[in-house]
Amino acid sequence: MAQTSHHRDRGPHPAGDGEPAGAANANGDGSQPELQQQLDAEREKANTYLASWQRAAADFQNFKRRTEQEREEYALLANRALIINLLPAIDDLDRAIEQAEQQNAGAGWLEGFEAIQRKLHGALEASGVSEIRAHGESFDPNIHEAVSQGPGEHDKVIAEVRRGYKLGSRVLRPAMVVVGNGQPAQQSDEQHNQ
């Protein structure tokens, strides 16, 4: 009996020593295609997860960029109503100084108002507001509002009735302008006299 128990303790038995024939294949070559299929399936899952993660990361970056752009736009437009409400007062000051310069050239009080005018225009510029060029420019309905036509080069601004302003690239208020009708000034005068 000692021999029988000693025989059992020897470890794994070679195939054919009392073990079924399929047992050797289960631990050896027979399971390799199955393991390869599982490995391929797990690699496919990993690639799918990686692609999903990369899309999510890109979406998040786009979200951050959009949010930052919106924040910048809100910052620019937050003062828009205030600026639009101030423009008529600035226009009035500009006209008053223009009239005073014609009538009271060299008056000391006028210099004080001109300093205020410069500060107001400087504050507008610091806020990103710029004047729309009008006189002598080609008429552009996106930035100019034609209030009348007069003798002068066709589709050219011949006079500015009210200044226009932009905040960044957005028009706050179009410039009110007189546009040339293509007739020379002499022809227009002759037609009025007839």
Domain CATH code at residue 167: 2.30.22.10
pLDDT, tens digit, 9 for 90 and up, residues 139-171: 999 999 999 999 999 999 999 999 999 988 889
- Residues 180 and 152 placed together within one structural domain of the fold: yes
The pLDDT value given to residue 20: 47
The pLDDT value given to residue 187: 52
Domain assignment present for residue 42? The answer is yes
The pLDDT value given to residue 186: 64
Domain assignment present for residue 15? The answer is no
The pLDDT value given to residue 39: 93
The pLDDT value given to residue 137: 93
Task: Report DSSP state, residue 178.
Answer: E
Quick one: how far is CA 87 from the chain centroid?
26
Structure tokens at 25: 């294949």
Percent above pLDDT 90 for the chain: 41
Helix (H, G, I), strand (E, B) or coil at 27: helix
List the one residue out of 112, 81, 113 whose CA is nearest residue 94: 113
Number of structural domains, the chain?
Answer: 3
- Residues 40 and 67 placed together within one structural domain of the fold: yes
- Phi-psi domain of 171 (left: phi exceeds 0; alpha: psi -120 through 50; beta: other): beta
Domain extent, residue 177, equals 147-185
Tell me the C-alpha to C-alpha distance, in Å, between residue 143 and each of 100, 138, 146, 175.
29, 11, 10, 6
The set of residues, in sequence order, having a beta carbon less than 8 Å from that of 131 and lying 6+ positions away, is 163, 164, 165, 166
Domain assignment present for residue 18? The answer is no
- Residues 72 and 98 placed together within one structural domain of the fold: no
Enumerate residue ranges in the chain where pLDDT < 70.
1-30, 105-107, 186-194
The pLDDT value given to residue 141: 94
